[in-house]
Structure 1
Amino acid sequence: MKLKGRRIIIEYERASYFILGSSFTCCYYIWKKKNLLDSLKDIIKYTIKFLLNPIALVIIMINLSYLLVIYYFSYKNNLQISLWYIKDYLIVLFFSVFPIVEHLKNLSFKEIFHDKKTELFGLAAIPLFINSSYTFPLVGEIILMLVLTILIIIIGFAELEEDTKIVAKVFNFILISISLFMIISSMIQFINNFRDVLTINFWLDFGIEGFVWLINIPVIYLAKKMMMIERKVIFSNNKNNVFSYVKFYLKLLVYKFKFYKYKKVDFENWNLAIEGEEFSAVGGNRIYIRVNRDDLSNEILIALASDAILGRNKYTKIVNRREKYPNVVEIVDEKLNLYVFWQDDFIKVKWQDKRCDNIETTQLVGGIKIIK
């Protein structure tokens, strides 16, 4: 069977699974819930709200640009890439890339890349692709899926009771045998149609998910950077849009430029003990630093405060669990007297800390204040 013809069959198979699954889900909810319409309205409302979020909009717009460039390139070079791949691209984007965005705050970029590299480009990806692409005819595939579903349900119930665990083992053996039969059949079909390897559609089918993830690495990195300051934007005087994120990062660049010369300050001669903690604050976090002296130079104080302001935490060794860039940084001396204070003026005035409003202070670089 030619790859193009088989691809059409696979699309009909997937469509049939979707229709069957959707029908079953709808019937279940109609049976279980009377307020189905209200639930559907809520789902639609929250979906639209999520898609209109600036982070989601950036991901969508960049990927739309990717698609336009890809199809312009294919048209110019007469590659004749099927429009079906737009659907495949969007499926990977919305059901594989988008779900990871929610967890970006808790996952490092390196962890995400390592997991996906193993999943998409490891040796296990080849048999999985063959098994999903070289399938049985539509009717046979539906029957097999129903049989496998029933077997899994039976095994699940059989393993609940000690007396029926032997039954679970028997059905487990049947399940494994059917799965092996499907894998071997797929391999035979692949061998019989080995010439498909020479077609561009084969490699597009095989690499579509990996390709989408690969070109979205910079997009995910950008989304992670945006998520780090999402609460700052929400609690600021600015509207929650892409321009507000750009505005904050421009402000951050100014800070980095101002604090650059304090990046490598020598602390060795000061016999300085530093303790640091992170606390919650409206729209972000508060960095609390305690030092054992009250006669530190302005250079040392700026270096300590700027290290926290820029989220480096090289001196305090704090691991930010809330937000990378704090709203408030305060330094106290060994008697717990407020020594240095800084507050991000990006946050709306009504959410700001007003402790230093009526205290005499000396203003240093970047809005850092020394309490007199």
Structure 2
Amino acid sequence: MQVLNLVLTFIAIKFLSLSELGRYNIAKSISGTFQFANLGFRNALDRRLPESKNEDLNLLRLSICAYINTVVSVFILAFFLIRYGLDWFYLLYAIGGVFLASFTLLRVYLRGTNQISSFISASFYGGVLPILLPIIGLYFFGLAGLGMAFFIATSIIFTYYFQKIKLRTIKETLNFKGYAFLFFKTGIIIYLTNFFEFIANNFDRFIIESYSGLETVGEYGIIILVYSLSLVIPGGILEMLFPDYIRDKKNKVQLIKHAKRHLLVNISFIGLFILISYFLLPYIIPFLFEKYTYLVFPMQIILFALIPYAIIGPIYSVLFAFDRHKQMFYANLISTVFYFAFLFLVLSNDFSILNLVYIKIGYTFLYLILMFGCLFHSIFTNKISFEFE
């Protein structure tokens, strides 16, 4: 999937103008916003489904999530319509985002109810089609083909997989309002934590566009390309090692061992990636995208924003294992607020594109400092306790 995503991005940079690239970046952020229309019910779905073999109850849970997701999506869509009007490109990506968000809930349901073959099939086609069709559309028809292909791909996977599921009716679902509220409380903190991280990494484009226009958004999108794609590295490592933290969270010796191994793996992979990228970018960018050679230095500098993620991963895993979700939420909230405060400050004065890079680096290091604070506070207040073996 990541290879296809990389191909799509490269073709976009190669064939689109800076302003068109800006529109594409804004459209992707609009589409991604709908993943948060579930208000945390998706996280609750993820946690509760594996606990129950009751098909009726699980279908009720999915129905609650789907209807909440639809209602909130309407409000998000209305907001973007007010902001951008009937801009056909943004509208295609917005509706496609609604389809993808609903499809994500279905994937969670299939995984949680142990329908493994259906889950694998949905994950494959749901990952490939929304990237492969836009690649073809962009290559042959430019920006118009890109938007239309994304809309077609997402509508196909949504229609094909959702017609196999019979949701409970709205009237039936409304009879369980009390249960829906309890269900909501299960996932809200994790949801808010992820939401503010998404805002920090995506909503900055809307602000940059408001102050400096689509061309600057296009430049910024190119600069953070390598940084954004490389976040898959710490994310993948965390996903692989995280079950060990949950299993041994009460064993101090084992937990420290897991954290050390996690840190070592992160430093090795992220450090190597930064080193190789830093020295190869001055050769790769002129070769692939000659007209953007002037952006090589900012692309090199933004790599330093990856350094904190080598340490954040183990800290996050320990805090999550001990259900310190509220503390992680505060760390995310505070770092995001400071990031946008400085972003507004810089954009409202004379600025260079490099200033935006420095602010992004500052954001990741501030997030690391706050996560350290959460860890030490949890240890010293005995919120994290161990048994020795």
Normalising to structure 2: TM-score of the pair?
Answer: 0.31
**Larger strand proportion, structure 1 or 2?**
1
Q: Which has the larger radius of gyration?
A: 1
Normalising to structure 1: TM-score of the pair?
Answer: 0.32
